[in-house]
Amino acid sequence: MSKPNEAAEAWDEYVRTSGMPKCAFSTRKIIKIGTGTTTQKKESKILWIGKQIGDDLFEVQRVNNHLAPSGDVSVISSAQFFKDFHPEVDIFNTKIMPVLRKIQTAVERGDSHRQRGEPYSAEFEYNIALDLDEKCVRALFGLGLVYLARNETDKARLVFTELVAINAAFAPEHKHLFNEFGIQMRKKGMFDEALAYFQRGLEFDSTDENLYFNLARASFEKGDYQACVSNLAASLDLNASAEEAREFARYLVIHVEKIMQEAQLDRSELAAPLLKAVSEIGKVVERPVQKQKQERSRSRGEKLLHYDRRTGHVDVIN
């Protein structure tokens, strides 16, 4: 077994020469087979994909029986990684990479079919990817969108359940998939699922005003007006010049009394803070926002409104 410093040098050399930020590795353990005098010892090898994510941290993910990395991702120290994980460069190049390319090709074909309005062809391609990696996030999202397009909401819910059960296989770019899936679920009246998807997207990027805006819309359609206003305030807090959010806010300002009356909130303890929050948002959206101001709002983080996520208070910044 290589010493940790030798293993680290070998890894640096591999990255330098191959240009690949990840590779296959194996861990090994001795298992006993049989009992008594027939007991034999055999070495068991488990394959992983390893990727360095910092000076002292690595991500590792198990490789399944189809030679595809699948399931949850764990983060371990570089010391543990170089101590326990053995490089398997040849397996990575000759066996794992072809499987990864096949999965990627199937998902891309599925996406193309889905975007062209060919849901059954899309489903076929996504299932090719899922046959190799049953937890392929992009394929599951694509399949869920196909089911929603065909109004097969029960199947879409099953996909939803599978996705939320995957604890750590998501990457930051999956935020957009959560957002798209959430929008389609909202349009189908699946408000709880849509809200859960937008919330999961925020776990990857808590500064995305679009996710907060979509949370506001889904909350409104569900009838949770307090959550609607809070999320709309959070969206405007991040970008007070976003026109869709400003238009939604103007709608709430105009119709809030009627909305509350129809929802029988006029005598509720929620009524006063809700009215106040809508009023404060209204002050912001009625301010003229010049183009130059819009650019500053986006590029330098200049704000016209502050939303306190802890207390739910909305304050206008003078």
* Percentage of residues of the chain with pLDDT beyond 90: 32
Instruction: Say yes or no to pLDDT of 296 above 80.
Output: no
Confidence of residue 265 (pLDDT cuts 50, 70, 90): low
Q: Which helix (H) or strand (E) holds 72?
A: strand 69-77
Whether this prediction's pTM lies above 0.75 is answered by no
Dihedral, 145, 147, 150, 152 alpha carbons, nearest 10:
-140
What domains can you pick out in the chain, each with its CATH number? 4-87 (no CATH), 156-316 (1.25.40.10)
Instruction: Say yes or no to pLDDT of 64 above 70.
Output: yes
Instruction: Say yes or no to pLDDT of 318 above 50.
Output: no
Quickly tell me which residue has 């999956």 as its tokens: 174
DSSP one-letter code for 134: T
What pLDDT score was predicted for residue 180? 83
Calculate the alpha carbon distances from 221 to 33, 157, 225, 236, 255 in Å: 60, 19, 9, 19, 14
Mean pLDDT of 217-237: 87
Quickly tell me which residue has 């919330």 as its tokens: 199
Mean pLDDT of 207-227: 89
Instruction: Say yes or no to pLDDT of 312 above 50.
Output: no
Point out the least confidently predicted range of 9-23, 43-57, 265-279.
265-279
Name the 3-class secondary structure at 53.
strand
Calculate the alpha carbon distances from 123 to 103, 132, 161 in Å: 14, 15, 18
Which pLDDT tens digit goes with each residue over 101-127? 999 999 999 999 999 999 999 999 999
**In the sheet where 57-63 sits, what is the strand order?**
69-77, 57-63, 40-54, 22-33, 86-87
Instruction: Say yes or no to pLDDT of 172 above 70.
Output: no
Mean pLDDT of 240-245: 82
User: Alpha carbon 187 to chain centroid distance?
Assistant: 20
